[in-house]
Structure 1
Amino acid sequence: MSFIYLSTILILAIFLGFELIRKVPATLHTPLMSGANAISGVTLIGALAYAGGDYSILSKTLACLSVCLATINVVGGYMVTDRMLAMFKSK
């Protein structure tokens, strides 16, 4: 029963995220991405806490995968944000 419940939440979150991002104007994309990086940082901390716990091997594997993906998202997001902000600096 919990698998169905969690799968429903995941599918709704994916749909909601897609609909929200699709309707954002281009001028607000960079500030929105900076905020999303902060949220990914929270996800990274949660995944690290879960990976270090005493859970099954499948849970630990998924948590390690989550750590890798969240790290890529955070680092890549900040690199893009830094590059966008560098465009506004005087030469």
Structure 2
Amino acid sequence: MTAIYLLFILMLAIFVGFELIRKVPATLHTPLMSGANAISGITVLGAISIAGKGYEEWATWLGAAAVLLATINVVGGYMVTDRMLAMFKKR
């Protein structure tokens, strides 16, 4: 029964996220991405807490994968943001 609720929440989040992003003007996509990457930093902290606990082996591997992917997302996002801000600096 809880799996159905979780699946419903996942589908609702996908739909709402898609609708929100679709309505954002193209000029705001990069700042929105920067904010999403900052939130991904919070994901890193949550994933570290899961990966370090004594859960089952699959949960530890899943937490480690989440740490890796969220870290790549954060670093890449900050690199893109830095390049975007460099375009506005005077030479």
Q: Please give the TM-score of this superposition, normalised by the length of structure 1.
A: 0.88
**Structure 2 residue 82 is the aligned partner of structure 1 residue 85:** no
Q: CA deviation at 1:2?
A: 3.3
Give me the CA root mean square deviation: 1.4
> Aligned equivalents of 2:50 and 2:59: distance in 1?
8
**Residues 28 and 13 of structure 1: is their aligned pair in 2 closer, same or farther, counting only changes over 3 Å?**
same
- The letter for the 1-side match of 2:41 is G
Q: Could you tell me how far 1:7 is from its partner in structure 2?
A: 2.9
User: One-letter code of the match for 2:19?
Assistant: E
Give 1:58 deviation, angstroms: 0.9
Q: Distance in 2 between matches of 1:27 and 1:44?
A: 28
User: How many matched pairs?
Assistant: 91
- Rounded to whole Å, the distance in 2 between the matches of 1:61 and 1:8 is 25
Note the 1:1-91 alignment, pairs <5 A.
Answer: 1-91=1-91
Kindly provide the amino acid, as one letter, of the partner of residue 47 in structure 1. A
**Structure 2 residues without counterparts, runs of 5 or longer:** none
CA positional deviation for 1:16: 2.0
| Cα distance, 1:6 vs structure 2 | 2.6
Question: Structure 1 vs Structure 2: percent identity of aligned residues?
Answer: 70
Deviation at 1:20, TM superposition (A): 1.5
2:59 aligned partner, one-letter code: S
